[in-house]
């Protein structure tokens, strides 16, 4: 073993001995960053050259800082930032044999490492809104660095302005709407926060500011919500949530809109609410009160303004009160009057929309008026001493129409209109096509299905069949005089006379 070791040593010496001696150094270069974080470190490296050939052995690097109170450098080239400022680092390459060479000055700046903002980003609710932005310079250890001044810049002074307020703080003020950045610079380090100015509703109102009464179901009015920011700026086309606090009076549609439609559905007063944002709400009362537009009296007339009753009889009269959109106006009471109470007179105690008209011994005409609010209708009642005869007047229509009813109606629709059988087949008999209706209901021509079939109004009461005589039209149908004769016979009580 020992012999072998000696032999190896002899070989190494022989190798060195063949060298022509250490090369003389000509330059030394520093590589690395140009800054170091305060209280942080940064590695520099040095390379020595003989001409253009790197020299890596047989030398020692000696590092130096121009101001060790600002940055120190270790003999391995590790720089430590001690205080903000600039130092010059140099390194000397000292060969084991020969002349040392020193690098060019290498400038290193000790700086802060980052800026921390509070708040992290800025959201302003309206113009003139302000917020205090605090910036904190930190060293490499994350500790605050005090005693240095910040400068502040708004990237869009039309959206926010920024003014230094000392102590690492600035006042950011909204002057417009949109999003931009606020930049803080300290010790040549810059960072920014996003600043946005929104249009947050602070108050809301409606247009119109008050609603006039809706006078018919289905009548509607447009309502627009106006949302305003704390600075008094109207937010264009702001969407509100609309709701109705008491149901059954109005409906709002759409429920989320700048402008919605308020539609009357029932009488009463309801509150309409427009919500522009959480807690930003206005409510307005809306009243629906149907105004009667039309009064329709039953018994109706068919081509003539009058009906004919007999002396000393009674029959029910009805009034349908409609609003301007033809919806029944249920809450309006009807007042019945007669132009001549010696002939025909309404009952003293009329119910909401019906009365009983009673005639007296005096023949002649009286005009019955039904009044509901601003609307009214009249029906002339002729009082006749001679009642219409079923056997002669009505039956002859059944027998002589074109074609005669009796042609088909010994049996068609299960109804017999032939002499002797007809009365029993129609009066108080359920209609085949509309079983809820009688073919003839005494005193009530408008509730008699037979009347609707000869008027051609059968489909308005749920019937499906054709007008009678079967499928007639124009002059092929019964003349109005015949239709009114049958109506008045029913109004007189559908007597079997
Ligand atoms: C050409 C045959 C024909 C003539 C004429 C005719 N009808 Fe009819 N009628 C029918 C038929 C068929 C039905 C059932 C189908 C329909 O209603 O279309 C009917 C149904 C009816 C109904 C419905 C009965 C129920 O209970 O549903 C009445 C009421 C009626 N006719 C009355 C008359 C009167 C009144 C006349 C004469 C003015 C007349 N008809 C003339 C064939 C006729």
Is 355 part of a structural domain of the chain?
A: yes
State whether 367 and 432 are in the same domain: no
Nearest residue (by CA) to ligand 1, atom 17, is: 465
Residue of 401, 407, 437, 453 best suited for mutating to test ligand 1, as the one with most atoms within 8 Å of CB: 453
State whether 374 and 401 are in the same domain: no
Count of C-beta atoms within a 10 Å radius of residue 384: 17
State whether 208 and 280 are in the same domain: yes
Is 17 part of a structural domain of the chain?
A: no
Q: Indicate if ligand 1 lies below 6 Å from the C-beta of 471.
A: no
How many CA atoms lie less than 13 Å away from 372 in the CB half-sphere? 27
Residue of 465, 467, 475 best suited for mutating to test ligand 1, as the one with most atoms within 8 Å of CB: 465
- Provide the pLDDT for residue 353: 64
Q: Indicate if ligand 1 lies below 6 Å from the C-beta of 270.
A: no
What is the total residue count of the chain?
Answer: 497
Q: Among 261, 288, 315, identify where a domain stops.
A: 288
CA of 454 to the centre of ligand 1 (A): 9
Is 128 part of a structural domain of the chain?
A: yes
Q: Among 288, 315, 342, identify where a domain stops.
A: 288
State whether 106 and 128 are in the same domain: no
Is 326 part of a structural domain of the chain?
A: yes
Q: Indicate if ligand 1 lies below 6 Å from the C-beta of 454.
A: yes
Q: Indicate if ligand 1 lies below 6 Å from the C-beta of 453.
A: yes
Count of C-beta atoms within a 10 Å radius of residue 199: 19
- Provide the pLDDT for residue 351: 67
Per residue in 258-283, pLDDT (tens digit) is 999 999 999 999 999 999 999 999 99
CA of 416 to the centre of ligand 1 (A): 10
Is 277 part of a structural domain of the chain?
A: yes
Q: Indicate if ligand 1 lies below 6 Å from the C-beta of 461.
A: no
Q: Indicate if ligand 1 lies below 6 Å from the C-beta of 466.
A: yes
- Provide the pLDDT for residue 24: 87
Please tell me the total count of domains within the chain: 5
CA of 462 to the centre of ligand 1 (A): 15
CA of 409 to the centre of ligand 1 (A): 7
Residue of 397, 400, 409 best suited for mutating to test ligand 1, as the one with most atoms within 8 Å of CB: 409
Q: Indicate if ligand 1 lies below 6 Å from the C-beta of 440.
A: no
Task: Say how far apart CA 490 and CA 427 lie, in whole Å.
Answer: 9
State whether 485 and 398 are in the same domain: yes
State whether 239 and 281 are in the same domain: yes
Q: How far is CA 108 from CA 44, 78, 89, in A?
A: 10, 12, 7
State whether 140 and 184 are in the same domain: yes
Residue of 408, 455, 479 best suited for mutating to test ligand 1, as the one with most atoms within 8 Å of CB: 408
CA of 449 to the centre of ligand 1 (A): 11
Q: Indicate if ligand 1 lies below 6 Å from the C-beta of 439.
A: yes
Residue of 394, 412, 417, 439 best suited for mutating to test ligand 1, as the one with most atoms within 8 Å of CB: 412
Is 12 part of a structural domain of the chain?
A: no
Residue 316's domain comprises: 294-384
CA of 456 to the centre of ligand 1 (A): 12
CATH code of the domain covering residue 165: 2.60.40.1080
Is 15 part of a structural domain of the chain?
A: no
Q: Indicate if ligand 1 lies below 6 Å from the C-beta of 472.
A: no
Rounded to the nearest 10 degrees, how much is the dihedral formed by the CA atoms of 29, 32, 33, 36? -100
Q: Among 245, 273, 288, identify where a domain stops.
A: 288
Residue of 405, 426, 480, 487 best suited for mutating to test ligand 1, as the one with most atoms within 8 Å of CB: 405
Task: Say how far apart CA 405 and CA 134 lie, in whole Å.
Answer: 101
Nearest residue (by CA) to ligand 1, atom 28, is: 450
Burial of 356 (0-12, 13-18, 19+ CB in 10 A): middle
Task: Say how far apart CA 204 and CA 212 lie, in whole Å.
Answer: 20
State whether 93 and 173 are in the same domain: no
State whether 119 and 92 are in the same domain: no
Q: How far is CA 193 from CA 144, 146, 172, 426, in A?
A: 19, 20, 11, 91
Is 259 part of a structural domain of the chain?
A: yes
Q: Indicate if ligand 1 lies below 6 Å from the C-beta of 432.
A: yes
- In ligand 1, the atom with minimum distance to the C-alpha of 414 is 26
Is there a contact between 382 and 310 (Cβ–Cβ < 8 Å)? Answer: no
Q: Indicate if ligand 1 lies below 6 Å from the C-beta of 127.
A: no
Q: Indicate if ligand 1 lies below 6 Å from the C-beta of 408.
A: yes
**pLDDT < 50: residue spans in the chain:** 1-20
- Provide the pLDDT for residue 303: 80
State whether 429 and 475 are in the same domain: yes
| 146: nearest Cα among 169, 162, 122, 163 | 169
State whether 359 and 274 are in the same domain: no
CA of 468 to the centre of ligand 1 (A): 5
Task: Say how far apart CA 307 and CA 275 lie, in whole Å.
Answer: 58
State whether 229 and 140 are in the same domain: no
């Amino acid at each position: 073993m020992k012999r072998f070791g000696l032999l190896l040593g002899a070989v190494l010496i022989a190798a060195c001995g063949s060298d022509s001696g250490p090369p003389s150094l000509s330059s030394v270069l520093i590589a690395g960053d140009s800054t170091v974080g305060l209280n942080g470190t940064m590695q520099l490296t040095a390379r020595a050259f003989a001409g253009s050939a790197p020299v890596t052995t047989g030398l020692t690097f000696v590092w130096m800082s121009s101001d060790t109170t600002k940055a120190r450098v270790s003999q391995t080239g590790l720089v430590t930032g001690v205080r903000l400022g600039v130092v010059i680092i140099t390194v000397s390459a000292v060969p084991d044999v020969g002349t040392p060479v020193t690098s060019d000055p290498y400038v290193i700046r000790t700086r802060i490492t980052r800026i921390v903002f509070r708040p992290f980003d800025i959201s302003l609710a309206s113009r003139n809104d302000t917020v205090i932005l605090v910036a904190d310079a930190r060293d490499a250890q994350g500790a605050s660095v005090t005693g240095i001044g910040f400068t502040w810049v708004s990237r869009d002074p039309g959206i926010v302005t920024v003014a230094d307020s000392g102590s690492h703080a600035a006042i950011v003020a909204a002057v417009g709407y949109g999003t931009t950045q606020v930049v803080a610079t300290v010790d040549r380090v810059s960072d920014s926060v996003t600043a946005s100015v929104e249009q947050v509703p602070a108050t809301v109102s409606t247009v119109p500011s008050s609603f006039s009464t809706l006078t018919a179901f289905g009548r509607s009015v447009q309502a627009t919500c106006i949302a305003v920011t704390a600075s008094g700026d109207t937010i264009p086309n702001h969407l509100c949530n609309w709701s109705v606090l008491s149901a059954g009076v109005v409906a709002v549609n759409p429920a989320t809109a700048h402008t919605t439609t308020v539609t009357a559905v029932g009488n009463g007063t309801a509150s309409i609410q427009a919500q522009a944002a959480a807690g930003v709400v206005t409510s307005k009362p809306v009243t629906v009160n149907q105004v009667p537009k039309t009064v329709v009296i039953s018994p109706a007339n068919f081509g003539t303004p009058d009906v004919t009753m007999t002396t000393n009889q009674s029959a029910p009269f009805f009034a349908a009160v409609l609003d301007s959109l033809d919806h029944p106006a249920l809450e309006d009471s009807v007042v019945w009057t007669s132009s001549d109470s010696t002939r025909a007179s309404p009952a003293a105690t009329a119910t909401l929309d019906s009365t009983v008209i009673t005639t007296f011994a005096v023949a002649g005409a009286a005009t019955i008026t039904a009044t509901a609010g601003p609307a009214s209708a009249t029906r002339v009642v002729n009082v006749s001493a001679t009642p219409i005869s079923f056997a002669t007047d009505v039956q002859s229509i059944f027998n002589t129409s074109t074609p005669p009813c009796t042609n088909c109606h010994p049996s068609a629709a299960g109804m017999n209109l032939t002499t002797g059988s007809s009365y029993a087949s129609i009066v108080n008999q359920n209609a085949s096509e509309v079983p809820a209706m009688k073919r003839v209901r005494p005193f009530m021509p408008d509730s008699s299905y037979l009347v609707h079939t000869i008027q051609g109004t059968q489909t308005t009461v749920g019937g499906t069949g054709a007008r009678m005589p079967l499928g007639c039209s124009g002059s092929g149908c019964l003349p109005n005089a015949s239709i009114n004769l049958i109506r008045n016979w029913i109004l007189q009580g559908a007597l079997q006379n």
